[in-house]
Every structure is written in structure tokens, then in C-alpha cells.
Chain A
């Protein structure tokens, strides 16, 4: 379907003179701004790394095996959403619904891991106000969690529309835009997992710091 200036493909309106979709351009601009947003928080975390004078420290708290599982789940949810989009464009609605549902479930599992982690941290005395590690860690991971939660709500809305017949091959572009957002949430976690978890997990008591005993 096309007019003089606009070509429509799977709901994506592409301007013929520029070859650009305004909606997609807006989403990429938003994602670009979010890169800067997370860049500042990750930078702050790294700048304050090993500066907490009292515990708990990363070596007392971070659980790499559990976070590896949640990271893997989020990575696979990225696969799920591209498959959902692929099948939606091909009008294979059953498979499209299945993968979109799977992505929502994987997003919820990831959030479940985060809730478990936060609860466990609070139990051993690590809260946002206890030290610099706690402040920067909770700020960054909960902001990411807020992004994931928003993404889950967005995908639930799209799945609802898919079941109602309002999301079809003709407007698959709506899912593509949501997919871009979801992938972005995934790549932010890729960086967080490497920097916040794998690099800092071995950090213990810094010079001048006080050793931390886990509560019994």
C-alpha cells in the first residue's frame, strides 16, 4: 500500500523521499537518550567502586550463578521477540502468540529473580542507604527493572491485541517497535551483568574499610 509520499509495509510508514519511518526514528532517538541515561548511572557505579568504608561489600552479597541464570533468561527473551515478530509478519498467528507469551513469561522470571535478589540483600543488611555500593547498585538495577516492567506491560498489551485480532501481519510494525525497546533493555543488562556483577563480585574490604559479618 502506498501514496505519493508514504509507503506502508507491515504498518511501517516509510517516507519515500527520505526512506525513513518517523516512528522508528523516534524510537532510536529515545534509545540513544536512554544509552546516555544508563551511561551516567553505570559511570557513577564504577567511579564509586571500592569506595564503601563499611559493608556489606560486593563479595559478601553478589551471587553470580543466580544472576547468570537470569541473564540467560533475558538473552533468550530477545530471541523470543524476534521470532514472535518473524511469525507475525508471516501471519503464523499461533507461533507469534506463543513466542510473545514466552517473552512475557521470561520477563516475569527475570523480574522474579530481581525481587528475590533485592529481598535477600535486604535480609543480609544491604540497603540503598547503607553505603555507596548499595546506593549505586540499587539505583542502577532498579532503574533497569523499571524498564523491564514497562516492557512487560507493553508486551501484555500487544498480546491482548493479538488475541483480539487487532495485531496482525498488517501492523506488525507495532511489535517491531516494542521489540526494539525490549532488545535495548537486554543490551543494557549485558553491560550491567559484566560491570556490576562479574567485575565487582570479587571486591572486598577496601583500604580503611571495616570488615563485614553476615547476620546470623
Chain B
């Protein structure tokens, strides 16, 4: 009961306080239904993308958690019949996000010399060009059946 009381303590300002903030401050910062959750989320994103949390286990677990969550969303999306008509673009988008997360943070490309990024990106552009060329040839000329 004590925990519930702490979580849902109300100071009369119209906002529930999670977590409980200073009693002396009549209008404390970040006081809203989710406490400072949103601010913490923003700080976490800045921490990840700036590389300040670079090379720590918590950082890597966080990335892995996001990757796992996206994979679960992909599979859920695949199972929903109503979402089938946007299956291809959505799966492409999800895989691009996962691809970028692994390359930027697990492979550290975001924190490396830019030459590595240039080499990889140029090769990716060529790869995607070849990929698209096959699809275009297939769409306009057909590549046969078997």
C-alpha cells in the first residue's frame, strides 16, 4: 500500500506525481502523469546517439532490446491480415531500421573514421542499384518462369 501511495501521491496541482517529487517545490519540473519518464527517454536517446554511453554493457543491451522488439513487431505485423497490403514497405522499413542500428552502434560505424562509412555506403548504393535493376528488368521484360 505504501508503494501505491508513493506512486499515486497527488499534490493538488492537477498532476499525478510519478515518481514523487519534492514537497517544497509547488510546481516541480517534469511533473506530469508519467513523472520524468519522457525526459529520461529523451536523455537516453541523446546518450545513445551521441555516443556518450558508447561501449558499455547497458548501452549494448539497450540496442539488442530494441532489435528484438522490432523483430517481434515484424512477426506480429506479418500475422495481421488487415496490414498485408503494406507488408512490403513496412518490412523494408523495419529491416532498414535494424540494419542501421547494427551498423551504426554494434559495428561502431557512427563513431569511426568517416572513410569507413563512405566505403560501406558507396558499396551499399551499388548493391541497391543492382537489386533495383533486377526488379525493373523483371517487371518490364520478365525473366522467365520455371
- Residues of A that sit less than 8 Å from B by CB: 18-20, 24-25, 28-29, 31-33, 35-36, 38-40, 42-44, 46-48, 51-54, 64-65, 68, 71-72, 75-76, 78-79, 82-83, 86, 89, 131-132, 135, 179-180, 183-184, 186-187, 190-191, 193-195, 198-199, 201-202, 208
Contact = CB atoms under 8 A, between A and B. Distances in A.
Contact of A190 (B102, B126, B134, B145): B102
B102 to A, nearest CB: 5
A20 B115 contact: yes
Interface in B51-65: 55-57, 60-61, 63-64
Contact of B106 (A35, A43, A52, A78): A78
B68 A194 contact: no
Given A36-B130, A195-B95, 11 more contacts: A35-B120, A35-B124, A39-B131, A40-B131, A40-B134, A46-B131, A51-B144, A52-B145, A65-B75, A76-B64, A79-B63
B134 A43 contact: yes
Contacts of B57: 83, 86
Contact of A86 (B56, B98, B113, B133): B56
Count class of interface residues, chain B:
35 or more
A31 B143 contact: no
A198 B138 CA distance: 21
B145 A53 contact: yes
A68 B75 contact: yes
